[in-house]
Amino acid sequence: MSEGIDRSIWRGRDDSSEAGDVRRLFQIVRAPDQRVSPGDPALVGFACDAGVARNQGRVGAAGGPVAARRMLAGLPAHDLRVLWDYGDVACTDGDLEAAQARLASRVADMLDQGLVPVVLGGGHEVAWGTYQGLARWLTERDQEIPRHAPGGTRRLLILNLDAHFDLRTSRPGNSGTPFDQIAHDCELSGRTLQYACWGVSRLANTPALYMRARQIGSNVIEDDALQERHLQSATDRLDGLIDLADDVYLTIDIDVLPAYAAPGVSAPAAYGVPMSVVESLACRVRNSGKLRVADIAEFNPAFDIDGHTARIVARLAWRLLGDQPSGGGTDHAPPEVIA
């Protein structure tokens, strides 16, 4: 067992007496060391809900990273040989900006090692920290041309699967402001940004937020147009956005799912987008080869019921950590059937 891993969290069923590959994630998780290799699966937590509190939401998302790890621990490893856990960045003093800066440094370090970080939130204020780390890493690579990008910067696609735009213009920053902060930063730096917010609820966003979304040229799909019957058209649309991007940042707010499926969130959705659609889109991005970083936000275990939401978070994280296709492959391959 490696030092630095909390074995009271990372624990599960031990089937070592059985034949075959019976490894589970708790048995392959390690604290980062000199053996980290580019492409290895890696996660980091953002134990914070200061942004939710500032945004007048119900707090508790700070417990999300630990609860997600507990559920991840017992999942089978399959093709994964190792999982690196970079620990938590915590905000215990209300200094959200300092916590976001620490997260940015950790994300940038992970990217420098050739990893695709999966960040476990925390409120959606995690996005401003995740983005700052990504932006720092991208700035070092802007000289690596991209022939098509105006101003010599790489073209960034942010896909936010979310019931909310999170484009509030008020300051200081909170869980409702991160993508407005990102848009401002991209404007100042000359970075080409395409913000796609899919799963938006018309009942959860004011006309002012829709106007702000139009001002920055957002690509928007509302929740009632992102159901299972719309998956093929959504996938085709996503492929087009990915084709135009150099780099993709995927952020999943768990409140994009209906409240009956994911009750443990800061702001439950009455309608929502089915898990099958969310997972398929996430896998599509994961398998594109352009995903640089992903985060999962607004999981609030204080309001979960029988671990329903924790299981959803763990499943999505597991999909993003590995390269298993689940309907999100780029070749529309049929699902494997075991008779």
What was the pLDDT predicted at 326? 47
**Span 114-139, average pLDDT:** 97
% pLDDT > 70, the chain? 91
Choice among 77-86, 114-123, 326-335 with the minimum mean pLDDT = 326-335
Choice among 146-150, 260-264, 287-291 with the minimum mean pLDDT = 146-150
- For residue 155, pLDDT over 80 is answered with yes
% pLDDT > 90, the chain? 88
What was the pLDDT predicted at 168? 97
CB 182 within 8 A of CB 126: no
- pTM for the model stands at 0.93
CB 250 within 8 A of CB 116: no
Q: 197 phi and psi, to 5 degrees?
A: -115, 110
Q: Which residues, in sequence order, are CB contacts of 187 under 8 Å at separation 6+? A: none
CATH of 25-321, one of 1.10.287.130, 3.30.750.24, 3.20.20.70, 3.40.800.10: 3.40.800.10
Confidence of residue 216 (pLDDT cuts 50, 70, 90): very high
pLDDT tens by residue, 175-204: 999 999 999 999 999 999 999 999 999 999
**Which candidate, 95, 162, 99, places its Cα nearest to that of 296?**
162
What residue type is assigned to position 213 of the chain?
A: A
Cα 153 from Cα 151, distance rounded (Å): 6
DSSP bridge pairs for 160: 197, 251
**Which candidate, 71, 119, 75, places its Cα nearest to that of 324?**
75
What was the pLDDT predicted at 324? 53
Confidence of residue 99 (pLDDT cuts 50, 70, 90): very high
- For residue 323, pLDDT over 60 is answered with no
What was the pLDDT predicted at 141? 81
**Span 54-81, average pLDDT:** 96
Give the residue extent of every domain in the chain: 25-321
Cα 201 from Cα 89, distance rounded (Å): 30
